[in-house]
Amino acid sequence: MDRRSWLKLSAAFGAAMFAMSGAQAQDTIKIGEMNSYKNFAAFLEPYKKGWELAVEQVNASGGLLGKKLEIVSRDDNGNPGDAVRMAEELVTREKVSFLIGTFPSHVGLAVASFAKEKKVLFIAAEPLTDKIVWDQGNKYTYRLRASTYMQTAMLVPEAAKLKKKRWAIVYPNYEYGQSATAAFKQLMKQAQPDVEFVIEQAPPLGKIEAGAVADAIAAAKPDAIFSSLFGPDLAKFVREGQTRDLFKGVQVFNLLAGEPEYLDPLKDEAPTGWWVTGYPWYAINTPEHKAFADAYQKRFKDYPRLGSIVGYATVQSAAAVIKKAGTLDTEKLVAAMKGLTHSTPLGNITYRPQDNQSTMGAYVGKIGLKDGKGVMTDWYYADGAKFLPSDADVAKMRPAD
Amino acid sequence: MLANIVIQFMNGLAGASSLFLVAAGLSIIFGVSRIVNFAHGSLYMLGVYLAYMLVEFFGRSSIFGFWGGVLMAALCVGLIGVVIEIVVLRRIYRAPELFQLLATFALVLVIKDAALYIWGAEDLVGPRAAGLRGAVEILGKRFPQYDLALIAIGPVVLGLLWLLMNRTRWGTLVRAATQDREMVGALGVNQSGLFTGVFFLGAFLAGLGGAVQLPREPAQLALDITVISDAFVVVVVGGMGSIGGAFLAALLIAQAKAFCIGIGDVSIFGTVFSFSKFTLVVEFVIMAVVLVVRPWGLLGKQQGTQRGTFMVEPPLYPLNRNFWLAVLAVVVLLGLVPFGGDGYLLVLLIDIAVFALFAVTLHFLMGPSGMVSFGHAAYFGLGCYGAALALLKLKLPMELALFAAPLAGGLGALVFGWFCVRLSGVYLAMLTLAFAQIAWSVIYQWDAFTGGSNGLVGLWPSEWLKDRTVFYAFALLLCIGGILFLWRVVHAPFGYALRAGRDSALRADAIGINVRRFQWFGFTLAGTFAGLAGGLFAFSKGSISPETLAVPRSVDGLVMVLLGGVQTLTGPVAGAAVFTWLQDSIARNTEYWRAILGLTILVIVLAFPQGIAGFTKQVATRIGVMRREAA
Amino acid sequence: MTVLSVSNLSKAFGGVKAVQDVAFSVAAGELLALIGPNGAGKSTCFNMLNGQLRPDSGIVNLLGRSLVGMKPRDIWRLGVGRTFQITATFNSMTVRENIQMALLSHHNALLSLWKSANEMYLDEAMVLLDRVGMADQSERPCGILAYGDIKRVELAIALANQPKLLLMDEPTAGMAPNERVNLMALTARLARQDNIAVLFTEHDMDVVFAQADRIIVLNRGRLIAEGSPMEVRANPEVQAVYLGSGVTYAGGH
Ligand SMILES: Nc1ncnc2c1ncn2[C@@H]1O[C@H](COP(=O)(O)OP(=O)(O)O)[C@@H](O)[C@H]1O
Ligand SMILES: [Mg+2]
């Protein structure tokens, strides 16, 4: 090639680069959102509707700092590597002010590590792992939802009340299930020293051999069962256990099983009498929640799931912190997150300054049947603030910012 | 005690049935068409969904409604199989080995999104089987009636298949084709008719396997992946193409799982060993053991050589001046990017470079060495963890920790490779998969050391490399260096020896080449560089998780290599670039990105059966840019 | 000088005694033909010499060294070249590269990761190709050659390690009749030039009688005759075997 063609080529190349970088004027506030939409569609479709509704509401009431709020959303493919790449894209190309979202714990932790390294605020919406605010917590990462530990702690008082001695535990074999089990055993031993854990079953996530697991648990003759199964594993366990009379005279506690995402598919086979954490959207009558639920149903012609709440509240947190900071400067935003309090459909929440965990709670109740559908009965709202370890314990676990 | 054992045994029997149906279908399809059908799990998933819909339609409360729905669902899936065969696969039978796998991978993506579109995201819990809702009393334990029915279905289908294969002309043809595909062509049998029929049967069995699970398995979108790996394991353990073997293997694996669950926790010398956790990987351990002891599965026979479908690879294009000029041009172009492009382009290019190196190492195995790996991510992931652990546990500086990556990848390949090179073809591929899964499950469960399912975080490069442009240059240098080195190796005597062993092991042996040993070294070399790619990946992302050595990563590698073209050296680089870029841009802009990605791959597959690089080469040769191979 | 000497060689497959008590020797520069009807045990005999099969009993000595129990690749290193009944070459390489491959192995240069194999032992390879008359096709891919040409390539490969002994199992199978004579004439010429001992089996009696220095005849695993072409042709037992088996001299399989 002669010199002229080289020049032409480089010019074309430069132009292409420029076009790709998409120079744009900033008349909106952009927030980057990432989630594993395809991998966890059952939870995340309602989640997406939730944040869409919140964005519409924020903008209808005049936006933030005089600008419109815009969420740039990406599918991270349920994969930490892709998630970090998406985060890079959002930050460098889309020039978002900060990041929100993520579902599985390992993706949440990867983005948290990215946030710390690149000094970007990250509000983790859903990842339940305790590590994201404790062992591996960092200054730039905050978490909205009640963690595995918190939700387990919410069930323990009810479990301890029963004075059952022989407990069986079943959990999906990955970090969430392991943490839930560890927390449950630790908290139960404190609450009821004579407790005995007679069998532990750890089926692979999504691949439970429910019949065999149910029979193995039955063979251990437990008085009660603590389970952290969810999704298809839960549905299979419920059906096989019922057919095999596993639950007759055995009290079951199951994390998350009251969430509509997991309870509704069970239809009339919802296991009545189980203690669960969840979301009884049909029965919550606070004005905040009613306003949300009505707006949601009007907008989407569908009832809200827990995902809807998480998506909605995440954007509420984002909006609240922008309002409080009055700027999009990261360090100011991060500072504003400390102790940030705002209202959500579940009531007021606060991002604790000591560990960046929000005090969003969960509903604790028993599963009942109504019109051939599972519902939560005898439920109450467990405020997250009451189910966290002492500040001293937190300080021990969490590295300094 | 006895009652517990009996019940777990019956659970195993019930679990084996559906597994057998799916695996038998996969085995029959493979036997005749030699197609490794990744979409088989998707057909199973469709079976569950369609059964859900059709049972509802025919009436869930009547016995006719239930079984009619199940049967109709299986028939529908069979017809879908026919459509897939006619529309897609028939056009690419003569493509290079394993190319069809790429098409079936694309189908997985398309079917998954189609199911999401049709049935939505929520899990659909099917009804109990009409007439078999309850349980029966066995030794004082309650056992589901429906599971008894399942226990019967397996042997019944096995018997029917036996009759079909041994008592009908069609079955005889299928068996003959399984032995030697060319022979059937020579006998003047309508081959495409036979293939279509086989696809119908295979897909029907997959659909039936799914449909009968309706009362036990909620319809959901992750079923395809869950089932496909199980089905592969069963087929391989039983022996490819052997229906009886599939039955035996399904029994063996289902029983092993049931008993691991039944045994629960056992204390051995004071440490508690959890057999229930072992179910995560037990089938892969069984497969590894079976393949090491019986290289063709329990009832399998050595595969006849594959004539006809195997396209002879053209001689290597020498690394001449033109080649180095082209490399230089690419390097210069990449060097210009930081001056013109935005930061994200650098990030994307780092990813592409890392995956290109990974794909080149896989191609090094699949192409010159003739060893297909379904578990190549193991070495990538070991590299990630090697680097991460060296950094976090040994507190080595990042530059030194990066050295641990190729070391770990190479060491893993050295150990696993020793076993793998004793096998060939699909069996070798499946043994690599087994080892990868075993490595994955160890890392996944070893919380204290590897961070378990959460992985390890805080793996950022040293201060001088933190600047994105500097890291870009650093990563590019290592990746391009690695790629060029491997290409030189292919052109070096070592690479020639590998190709010699692949072309004709008999002749290679007769001129003094220890083929196995070369394969072993080649395997290790590929693992070493895959490890390097992993190390760079870890430091470019700042965190790693077991995903880095899981099946999807291995499949991505395969897709890149096949997409680019196995028969050209540059193919994997082109494949990695196109696949990564496609995934990135499509995922960003569309909701049903998986389906669009799948359809794009299908179009590429049908348009360029030699892969992208093969196609470019053809065009280049035609318009005279490239020297025509002496032919 | 005796290059290969074999005695008491036996092999049975289950009940089938494929080779029984066979003994012979080949001298340097000599072409020894091993003939016999189908199923006589010729290939079995060959495979015991080249290491593919382990004899049940017997002695196989190459220049005084026992080959029993050695692997084919090690036997090759001692100077035993081979051609196959069904050709085996490296189809993804050019003709020249096929020869270079054997040369690289011969010179123990295979472990190099860096040098360009294509340029190594190039002249040596061309000399070998020239000797078998394939120099003009050196750059063609081996996979597209005519069958007769592949046989020549195999011959060149077999010559690459300067063998003392050449084992050729039905070297002309599948070739046109005039090509057969040419190939074996070429082989004979090269063997005499280089003083190589050649043991070959052959169905085409024209080829055998034209090129062999000596012939041994195998039937049902046993040697039934040995001698010069003239002697063997005159041997009544040999005639009986060939007539009785119904196989014409030009048969093949
Ligand atoms: N691998 C084997 N297993 C069993 N029998 C064999 C095997 N190889 C050869 N035979 C038998 O040994 C005899 C000699 O065969 P072979 O050496 O191939 O004869 P030739 O090459 O003279 O035609 C035949 O009866 C043949 O069937
Ligand atoms: Mg023979």
Which pLDDT tens digit goes with each residue over A290-326?
A: 999 999 999 999 999 999 999 999 999 999 999 999 9
End of a domain among B514, B532, B551?
B551
Does the structure show a pLDDT above 90 at A212?
yes
Same domain, A233 and A220: yes
In this predicted model, which residue has the larger pLDDT, B631 or B220? B220
Q: What pLDDT score was predicted for residue C243? A: 62
Compute the average pLDDT of residues B563-579.
Answer: 91
Average pLDDT, chain B: 90
Compute the average pLDDT of residues B277-286.
Answer: 90
Which pLDDT tens digit goes with each residue over B180-189?
A: 766 666 666 6
Does the beta carbon of C37 sit less than 6 angstroms from any atom of ligand 1?
no
Which pLDDT tens digit goes with each residue over B290-327?
A: 999 998 899 987 765 544 334 578 888 888 888 899 99
Same domain, B266 and B193: yes
Same domain, C66 and C183: yes
Computed over its alpha carbons, how large is the radius of gyration of chain A?
23
Query: Within a domain: residue A218?
Result: yes
**Ligand 2 centroid to C46 CA: how many Å?**
9
Which pLDDT tens digit goes with each residue over B526-537?
A: 999 999 999 999
**What is the torsion angle, in degrees rounded to the nearest 10, for the CA atoms of residue B339, residue B341, residue B345 and residue B351?**
-30
Domain range for B72: 2-293
Same domain, C127 and C193: no
Which residues on A lie below 8 Å from B276 (Cβ)?
A: 200-203, 213, 216
Kindly report the backbone phi and psi dihedral angles of residue B232, in degrees, each rounded to the nearest multiple of 5, phi listed first: -60, -45
Does the structure show a pLDDT above 80 at A2?
no
Which residues on B lie below 8 Å from A218 (Cβ)?
A: 141
Query: Within a domain: residue A10?
Result: no
Query: Within a domain: residue B366?
Result: yes
Question: Which residue in C23, C10, C84, C24 sits closest to C54, CA to CA?
Answer: C10
Same domain, B250 and B355: no
pLDDT band at B623 (very low <50, low <70, confident <90, very high): low
Cβ contact, residue pair B342, A219, below 8 Å: no
Question: Which residue in C160, C164, C167, C211 sits closest to C189, CA to CA?
Answer: C211
Contact partners, residue B168, CB within 8 Å, separation at least 6: none
Same domain, C241 and C177: yes
Q: Which of C84, C90, C116 sits opposite B499 (nearest CB)?
A: C90
> In this prediction, what percent of chain B has a pLDDT beyond 70?
95
Which pLDDT tens digit goes with each residue over A138-193?
A: 999 999 999 999 999 999 999 999 999 999 999 999 989 999 999 999 999 999 99
Q: Which of B488, B506, B512 sits opposite C88 (nearest CB)?
A: B506
Which pLDDT tens digit goes with each residue over A224-235?
A: 999 999 999 999
Q: What pLDDT score was predicted for residue B505? A: 92
Same domain, A70 and A161: no
Query: Within a domain: residue A141?
Result: yes
Same domain, B35 and B180: yes
Q: What pLDDT score was predicted for residue C252? A: 37
Cβ contact, residue pair B217, A236, below 8 Å: yes
End of a domain among C132, C162, C192?
C162
Q: What pLDDT score was predicted for residue B307? A: 40
Same domain, B289 and B334: no
In this predicted model, which residue has the larger pLDDT, A386 or B309? A386
Q: Which of C35, C43, C200, C247 to mutate to test the pocket of ligand 1 (most atoms within 8 A of CB)?
A: C43
Which pLDDT tens digit goes with each residue over B362-410?
A: 999 999 999 999 999 999 999 999 999 999 999 999 999 999 999 999 9
Number of structural domains chain C divides into: 2
Same domain, B90 and B146: yes
Each of the 253 residues of chain C gets a pLDDT tens digit; together they read 899 999 999 999 988 899 999 999 999 999 999 999 888 999 999 999 999 999 999 999 999 899 999 999 999 999 999 998 888 899 999 999 999 999 999 999 999 999 999 999 999 999 999 999 999 999 999 988 998 899 999 999 999 999 999 999 888 888 888 888 889 999 999 999 999 999 999 888 888 988 899 999 999 999 999 999 989 988 888 888 876 554 444 433 3
CA distances to A214, B156, B207, B386 from B201, in Å: 35, 16, 10, 46
pTM (predicted TM-score): 0.92
Q: Which helix (H) or strand (E) holds B105?
A: helix B99-119
Kindly report the backbone phi and psi dihedral angles of residue B525, in degrees, each rounded to the nearest multiple of 5, phi listed first: -60, -45
Q: Which of B112, B276, B591 sits opposite A203 (nearest CB)?
A: B276
Same domain, A50 and A99: yes
- B377 in Cβ contact with B557 (< 8 Å): yes
The three-class DSSP label of residue B23 is helix
CB atoms < 10 A from the CB of C214, how many?
A: 18
Average pLDDT, chain A: 92
Same domain, C248 and C188: yes
Same domain, C93 and C214: no
Which pLDDT tens digit goes with each residue over C53-71?
A: 999 999 999 998 999 999 9
Same domain, A141 and A166: no
Does the structure show a pLDDT above 50 at B542?
yes
Number of structural domains chain A divides into: 2
Query: Within a domain: residue A233?
Result: yes
Number of structural domains chain B divides into: 2
Query: Within a domain: residue A41?
Result: yes
Question: Which residue in B262, B253, B192, B220 sits closest to B120, CA to CA?
Answer: B220
Same domain, C189 and C157: no
CA distances to A330, B223, B574, C131, C145 from C155, in Å: 76, 56, 40, 10, 14
> In this prediction, what percent of chain A has a pLDDT beyond 70?
94
Domain range for A290: 28-147+285-361
Same domain, B213 and B345: no
Cβ contact, residue pair B492, C114, below 8 Å: yes
Compute the average pLDDT of residues A70-76.
Answer: 94
Same domain, A261 and A372: yes
Q: What pLDDT score was predicted for residue B628? A: 43
Same domain, C100 and C129: yes
Same domain, A233 and A298: no
Query: Within a domain: residue A199?
Result: yes
Chain B residue nearest residue C102, CA to CA: B511
CATH number at residue B118: 1.10.3470
**Ligand 2 centroid to B63 CA: how many Å?**
64
CATH number at residue C41: 3.40.50.300
Distance from CA of A272 to the nearest CA of B (A): 17
Same domain, A378 and A237: yes
Which pLDDT tens digit goes with each residue over B18-73?
A: 999 999 999 999 888 888 899 999 999 999 999 999 999 998 889 999 999 999 99
pLDDT band at B269 (very low <50, low <70, confident <90, very high): confident
End of a domain among C111, C140, C162?
C162
Question: Which residue in B265, B250, B254, B278 sits closest to B8, CA to CA?
Answer: B254
Residue B531 Cα to chain centre, angstroms = 19
Query: Within a domain: residue B542?
Result: yes
Same domain, B334 and B410: yes
End of a domain among B551, B573, B605?
B551
Contacts 24+ apart (CB under 8 A), B501-507: B501/B369, B501/B370, B502/B368, B502/B369, B502/B370, B502/C92, B503/C89, B503/C90, B503/C91, B503/C92, B503/C93, B504/C88, B504/C89, B504/C90, B504/C91, B506/C84, B506/C88, B507/C84, B507/C88, B507/C89, B507/C90, B507/C157
Same domain, C113 and C197: no
Same domain, B46 and B182: yes
Same domain, C71 and C176: yes
Same domain, B352 and B206: no
In this predicted model, which residue has the larger pLDDT, A56 or B604? A56
Atom of ligand 1 nearest to the CA of C253: 23
- Residue ranges of A 158-187 with Cβ closer than 8 A to chain B: 173-175, 178
Same domain, B431 and B501: yes
Q: Which helix (H) or strand (E) holds C167?
A: strand C165-168
Does the structure show a pLDDT above 60 at A13?
no
Does the structure show a pLDDT above 90 at B122?
no
Q: What pLDDT score was predicted for residue A26? A: 61
Same domain, C170 and C222: yes
Cβ contact, residue pair C113, B492, below 8 Å: yes
Query: Within a domain: residue A188?
Result: yes
End of a domain among C134, C162, C190?
C162
Chain B residue nearest residue A72, CA to CA: B588
Same domain, A268 and A313: no
What ipTM does this complex have? 0.92
Q: What letter would DSSP give residue A91? A: I
pLDDT band at B457 (very low <50, low <70, confident <90, very high): very high
- B219 in Cβ contact with B45 (< 8 Å): yes
Same domain, A76 and A120: yes
Same domain, A260 and A343: no
Neighbours of chain B (3+ CB pairs under 8 A): A, C
Same domain, C55 and C118: no
Which pLDDT tens digit goes with each residue over A75-126?
A: 998 999 999 999 999 999 999 999 999 999 999 999 999 999 999 999 999 9
CATH number at residue A201: 3.40.50.2300
Query: Within a domain: residue B587?
Result: no
Domain range for C120: 88-162
Compute the average pLDDT of residues B124-138.
Answer: 92
Calpha distance A279→B46 (Å, rounded): 31
Query: Within a domain: residue B402?
Result: yes
